[in-house]
Structure 1
């Protein structure tokens, strides 16, 4: 008969002790969790056993919650920024449109006042829609044509002064030759009453905006600051439209004549709205006096009938 060794008995006992301890710990944890076995020792054991797991779980949960809040804030801020940007763009567009309408209203008001102050002109408002690419500085395109009654050689103006003439009229638009074109020639006169010096205003080839009044005698009565207006000579331009102001006087080639450098009344680089003079009449003040009726009665005129007062006295 074989007798078991002491080592085997010791191993079996140790295994039983370990199993008992494990079961005891599990029971303590279980009862402590359901609050049916609450002792300081069990509570301490539960805390010591579960604390690491709770710490890790709490940290992970906090990180996840913080990340979720961060993601929510990112998307919220993105949506807010997108909405604010759309509102900002809309406000900018409205401000720009309002400023443009205000500018257009101011220009049209000036044109309306000009029409009121010049009843001798029949004005057709027009808008500049382009410039001739080959003569950028000397020709413009307007949105009025022969369908609107525009014809070649009609005068084009702004409330500030003379712009030019209709170079070519098409059905829906027209090409305007500016007075800055060297090929143009405008009969002009000094507006000052004690001068009334006549000359011709032309554009210059060396500048896109300069105009000169030429053919001026050396001893002519013209000085810097004089206002130059259309003379009406030749019949193309109506009389009295402002052309520009004399800025300086210079000797012409040969020295026999001089010319006046003018500052144009119109800023040709900023033309937007103009008016075409489709018809014009002499101002009322410039019309010749009408013949008066004769003061002496005619030989065969009948005597005037007696008034009621005279008839009463006769009675």
Structure 2
């Protein structure tokens, strides 16, 4: 019994001492924690800078180690971009060609009473377009001197000289060309002849318009269809200026052709389906 009492007393003493030691250590630990907190905060800032520098160094060496891969990817992207640009150009070219063929087909359908010979312009016959164009078709292809030359945009001029494999075309800005024309809005007629302004721009002028005509700037001029040579209703150009000739009691109209005469590449020659009106050597029967 005495032994148990002594053992209980020892346990109580040990627990009491342990509790006192824990309290003392806790007090010291609070003071130490404040000191450690200050040092830790400063250390954390330094550590952040070190980590940032370390990340930059790692990134730099990573770029160096992967430079060949990056270079290869850039080359592949440039190659892909070039391929896409080439495809876009091809698409534009095909679309432009398709649009041109569609316009030509629509023109032919609207003027189905005639036959057509498609020609490429290969040169100018003199020093400028006013001297004429050289086309790659001649009498063996059915080209006839004096026949009308046009594009889907409108009238170009007429064939003035023919050979077996090539011909010369003069356009409507040449003063030697005369075309029967009509004001689309009024039905009044006149004659179109070549004309150049002060800047040498290739234009045309419509003569013999009645003085009382209500022709105005912006009016559309088309072929009158007088005679079988020129189909009726082929667009010629737009009125850009009007002059009054009081001495001759008439008006003249300056016309800007719808066809860009400086940028022609392809034209077609309009031929009558009935060849009885022409002989076999390409000259019209007088």
Provide the TM-score with structure 1 as the length reference: 0.57
Residue pair 2:183, 2:215 contacting (<8 A) in 1 also: no
Q: Secondary structure of the residue that 2:252 maps to in structure 1?
A: strand
1:231-264 per-position Cα deviation (integer Å, ceiling 9, x unaligned): 3446543333222233432124856443112232
Match of 1:186 in 2: 179
In the alignment, structure 1 residue 121 sits paired with structure 2 residue 114: yes
- Find the counterpart in structure 2 of residue 204 from structure 1: 195
- 1:214 corresponding residue in structure 2: 207
> Which of 158, 170, 178 is the aligned partner of 2:151?
158
Partners of 2:201 and 2:210 in 1: CA distance: 26
Corresponding residue of 1:146: 139
Query: For the residues of structure 1 that align with 2:184 and 2:82, how far apart are their CA atoms?
Result: 51
Please say if 1:274 is aligned against 2:261.
no
Rounded Cα–Cα distance in structure 1 between residues aligned with 2:74 and 2:160: 54
Which protein shows a greater Rg?
1
Q: 2-side partners of 1:150 and 1:129: how far apart?
A: 16
Q: Which has the higher strand share?
A: 2
Counterpart of 1:88 (choices 77, 81, 84) is: 81
Q: Indicate conservation of the 8 Å contact 1:197/1:222, yes or no.
A: no
Aligned to 1:263: 256
- The separation in 2 between residues aligned to 1:169 and 1:90, in whole angstroms, is 45
Number of residues of Structure 1 aligned to a counterpart in Structure 2 = 213
Contact kept in structure 1, 2:111 and 2:231, CA below 8 Å: no
Aligned to 2:92: 99
Q: CA RMSD in A?
A: 3.2
1:223 aligned residue (212, 215, 240): 215
Change (3 A) 1:140 1:215: same
Contact 1:182/1:205 (<8 A) preserved: no
SS of the equivalent of 2:231 reads coil
> Do the aligned partners of 2:172 and 2:193 also contact (CA within 8 Å) in 1?
yes
Asked if structure 1 preserves the Cα contact closer than 8 Å seen for 2:146 and 2:159, the reply is yes
Q: Aligned with 2:129: secondary structure?
A: coil
More deviation, 79-88/99-108: 79-88
Q: Does the CA contact (< 8 Å) of 2:143 and 2:162 recur in 1?
A: yes
In the aligned structure 2, how far is the partner of 1:118 from the partner of 1:177?
22
- Show structure 1 runs of 5+ residues with no match: 1-62, 282-315
Report the equivalent of 1:53. Answer: none
Distance 1:171 1:185, change over 3 A: same
The gaps in structure 2 that reach 5 residues or longer are 1-56, 275-286
TM (norm. structure 2) is 0.62
**Matched position secondary structure for 1:229:** strand
CA change 1:78–1:174 in 2 (3 A) is farther
Structure 2 distance, partners of 1:171, 1:235, is 24
Q: Secondary structure at the match of 2:168?
A: strand
Moved more, 160-169 or 251-260: 251-260
Contact 2:139 2:164 in 1 (8 A): yes
- The 3-state SS of whatever aligns with 2:74 is helix
